[in-house]
Amino acid sequence: MKVTRIAKVAIATAAAAGLAVGTLSPANAATRSTVVLVTSNQLTGLNPSVSNMNLTFNSEVAYMQGFGFNYYDNSPKLVDNKIFGSYKIVSQKPFKVQYTVNKGKVWSDGTPINAVDLLLSHVIASSSYSFTAKLGDPTDNEVAPAFNSLSYGGVYDEHHVGLPELSKDKMSLTIEYDAKIPDWQIYGPGPSPVHTLVLMAEGKKSLQSVKANIAARDKFEKAFYSYNTKLMTAAGKIWSNDYNINTVNDSTNPLLLVGNGGYILKTAVPGQAVTLVLNPKHKSNPSGPATNGIKTVVFRIIGDGTAAAQALRNQEVDIYQGQPTADSVNLLKAIPTAKVIGGDQAVYEHIDLRVDNAAGSTDNYTGPFKGMDQRAVDLRTAFLTAYPRDEIVDKLIKPINEKAVRMDSLLVFPSEPGYADVIKNSGVSKYTQGSQAEREARALALVKKYYPNASATNPGFTVKLNWGTPSNARRAASAQLVKAALGRAGINVDAPGSATWSRNLASNAFDAFFFAWVKSSVTQQGNANLFCSDCGNNYLGYQNKVVDAANTKLGAVLLSPKAKLAEYLKIEKELMKDAVSLPIFQHPGVTAVNAKLQNVKPNPLSPQLVWNYWEWKYSK
């Protein structure tokens, strides 16, 4: 009796529920309008040109908010943004470049953009301007200048002549240089909303009318050309300090957030997320005013790799640049709703050998590789010959990036034009000929010249190898492979690994070093200055007149691509002959993207993922 009643109730309920289900059809998900990226860093400031805000992530956020004359694509190649404006050489001698802003471009507060907005680039990069306008000495170690900029002492600072000239209609700016400097395109000016600096210097805390904005910009122009210390110092203090915020919300001064990029910062919560919304007045980025329906771009801060992969699987995030390890790649490939994009980073692993005292060291280097005599060169050659580069690439890199290759040129990436020529003629072949076993035998023969009793079980000498630990399983595995291979060549490798490895780079206690260099921009000089005598990043004590001459030439005048490669080849030949350094591999990059999100093309250079944000769109 009781049971039947329960059954009746159940049947009745189920029937009612069935009816209810019939009327409630699940809603269809509309095309999304939000893109969520994973970042492991947090926003620390809105002005990456100041030292304590100069972080990659700050630059990425700033990139989305402002757009100028050119940008790097993912080749990486410099592309002109013809939508915003144009630039051309107006005189070869003296070398003058004219930058013109197209008409109709506006800041997000509605103020039309003109060439006055380009003048700030000069203020923050020219030491002579800082001196003349009494804004402080950028080289002073005690007191920072009013504009506490990172650009002082750079290429622009050293080569520009006089003040930039405005055209009559104020839409063009002409800059004079003392020579046709290499890569002059990337040292040109970019737009900054100077009127907001003036307004903030006057104590304004809200957006003003376009008329007031134009009046403020006129004040800036006047102050710029009259070296008005008072106004420029006030603007400089704002520029150096007020952008140093990690929180953005409704109470943030909106003048700090004025830009001309596709998206404008809306909120930033430390450790959580940074949100940008579509700039309704964007006309300056390469898509012009067109959009692909993406209204919100969010950077979600996730420090943990597994957590990020699971968030991607749960569709909470759309783009994640993963840790390039074999495990994490497999994890990402297993996500059904995401696609994995491989590729290379503009970072390469390499092995360096100490030649002489490190710059700035007080003690003397006395290791086996000291000097340029035949014995030192032979021992260095033996070390580099036996170095198991193929094994490292095959065992540690190929599982992540199937297309990975061993790198054989220190100055040219395998994907760059001219690579094949350089490696054919540089003399690298003495390190690449034959199999690993044959190379080890050749190396052992060289070692035996000086240590006749040396063998695989009885090493001739010991090399102290510096590498970075902890939390880098790949480097630990690399060190193991190196130890084994060089042991077979009669060289004992002492490679304990160190957390403070970067300090040891300038230490005479170490004979060999493996770590990675980043190519942060594509310049003509490239990485040639790593090997010039007494240069800042030459820790090896290596001095070579041929290398110095080629490096100086690369840094001084613009060369044709062919002439540039010829100089590179000169440097590489010396380096291979003297057995100083060898590249190993290009760091692999792994990006996983929501399968529905189109046109995400990772760029090896900063801003890595967001460089083409205007092209992103969701498929249906």
Identify the residue among 17, 90, 290, 546 touching another protein (CB under 8 A). Answer: 17
Residue 419's nearest CA partner among 491, 306, 526 is 526
Q: How far apart are CA 194 and CA 224, in angstroms?
A: 11
Q: Which is nearer to another protein, 480 or 598 (CB)?
A: 598
Interaction between residue 470 and another protein (CB under 8 A): no
Residue span binding another protein (CB under 8 A) among the ranges 74-82, 220-228, 305-313, 582-590: 305-313
Which residues does 2 contact at the CB level (< 8 Å), separation at least 6?
none
Q: Give the rounded distance of the alpha carbon of 551 from its chain centre.
A: 22
Question: Which 593-612 positions form the footprint of another protein (CB under 8 A)?
Answer: none
CA pair distance 14, 587, nearest whole angstrom:
59
Residues 147-206 that bind another protein (CB under 8 A): 150, 152-155
User: Judged by CB under 8 A, which stretch of 20-28, 407-415, 451-459, 568-576 contacts another protein?
Assistant: 20-28
CB of 523 to another protein, least distance (A): 10
Positions 521 through 580 that interact with another protein (CB under 8 A) = 527, 529-530, 536-537
Cα 588 to Cα 345: distance, rounded to the nearest angstrom: 6
Give the interface segment with another protein, choosing from 107-115, 285-293, 298-306, 453-461 (CB under 8 A). 298-306
Which residue, among 155, 120, 132, has the nearest Cα to 50 in the 3D structure? Answer: 120
Question: Which of 132, 429, 502, 598 is in the footprint of another protein by CB under 8 A?
Answer: 502
Taking the least distance from each CB to another protein, the nearer of 288 and 497 is: 497
26 HSE (CA, 13 A, CB side):
3
Q: Which of residues 215 and 516 has its CB atom nearest to another protein in the complex?
A: 516
CB of 536 to another protein, least distance (A): 5
Q: Which two tokens stand for residue 514?
A: 């493996």
Q: In what order do the strands lie in the sheet with 319-322?
A: 263-269, 273-278, 296-301, 34-39, 319-322, 590-594, 338-341
- Based on the shown chain and the rule CB under 8 A, indicate whether residue 405 belongs to the binding site for another protein: no
Site for another protein in 323-382 (CB under 8 A): none
Say how many residues touch another protein, by CB under 8 A. Answer: 73
Per CB under 8 A, the segment of 28-36, 253-261, 563-571, 605-613 that binds another protein is 28-36
Check binding of 1 to another protein (CB under 8 A): no
Q: Residue 357 CB, nearest distance to another protein (Å)?
A: 17
CB of 504 to another protein, least distance (A): 10
For 392, the token pair is 């490292």
Question: Which of these ranges, 311-319, 389-397, 480-488, 599-607, lies near another protein under the rule CB under 8 A?
Answer: 311-319
CA distances from 356 to 242, 274, 363, 366, 460 (A): 46, 48, 11, 8, 21
CA 388 from chain centre, in angstroms, equals 29
Integer distance in angstroms from the first to the last C-alpha of the chain? Answer: 55
Identify which of 574, 77, 61, 7 has the alpha carbon closest to the alpha carbon of residue 298.
Answer: 61
**Residue 238 Cβ, how far from another protein at the closest point, in Å?**
15
Give residues with Cβ within 8 angstroms of 490, minimum separation 6: 443, 444, 447, 448, 451, 454, 455, 456, 458, 459, 460
* Residue 397 host element (H or E): none
Selected range binding another protein among 64-72, 115-123, 388-396, 512-520, rule: CB under 8 A = 512-520
170 vs 313 by CB, closer to another protein: 313
Q: DSSP class of residue 61?
A: H
By the rule CB under 8 A, 275 interacts with another protein: yes
Selected binder of another protein within 106, 210, 518, 556 (CB under 8 A):
518
**Which residues sit opposite 498 in a β-bridge?**
468
Task: Determine if 26 is a binding residue for another protein (CB under 8 A).
Answer: yes
- Binds another protein by CB under 8 A, chosen from 484, 499, 546, 557: 499
The closest alpha carbon to 381, from 468, 486, 517, 464, belongs to: 486
Q: Please identify, among the stretches 8-16, 91-99, 194-202, 540-548, the one whose residues bind another protein according to the rule CB under 8 A.
A: 8-16
Q: Closer to another protein by CB, 481 or 535: give it.
A: 535
With respect to another protein, which residue has the nearer C-beta, 25 or 453?
A: 25
State which of residues 89, 290, 307, 437 lies at the interface with another protein (CB under 8 A).
307
The answer to whether 70 touches 185, Cβ cutoff 8 Å, is: yes
- CB nearer to another protein: pick between 152 and 177: 152
Cβ distance to another protein smaller for residue 303 or 371? 303
Q: Which of 462, 520, 598, 599 binds another protein (CB under 8 A)?
A: 520
Contact 208, 16 (CB under 8 A): no
Give me the residue label for tokens 């044709």. Answer: 560
**CA distance linking residue 7 with residue 238, whole number of Å:** 75
Asked whether 513 and 495 are in contact (CB, 8 A), the reply is no
User: Would you count residue 315 as binding another protein (CB under 8 A)?
Assistant: yes
Q: Contact between 503 and another protein (CB under 8 A)?
A: yes
Select 27 or 453, whichever has its Cβ closest to another protein.
27
* 22 or 417: CB nearest another protein: 22
Residue from 276, 293, 289, 300 nearest 33 by CA: 293
Across 63-201, where does the E strand assignment appear?
Answer: 70-72, 78-80, 85-91, 95-101, 160-166, 172-177
Q: How far is CA 476 from the centre of its chain?
A: 25
Number of Cβ atoms within 10 Å of the Cβ of 10: 10
Instruction: Show the site string, 111-150: x = touches another protein by CB under 8 A, - = not.
Output: ---------------------------xx-xx-x-----x
> Would you give the DSSP letter of residue 500?
T
Which 38-77 positions form the footprint of another protein (CB under 8 A)? 44-45, 51-52
- Judged by CB under 8 A, the chain residues 242 through 271 that form the site for another protein are 244, 246, 266-267, 269-271
For the chain, how are helix, strand and coil distributed in percent, rounded to 5?
35, 20, 45
Q: Which stretch binds another protein (CB under 8 A): 27-35, 177-185, 253-261, 428-436?
A: 27-35
Site for another protein in 207-236 (CB under 8 A): none
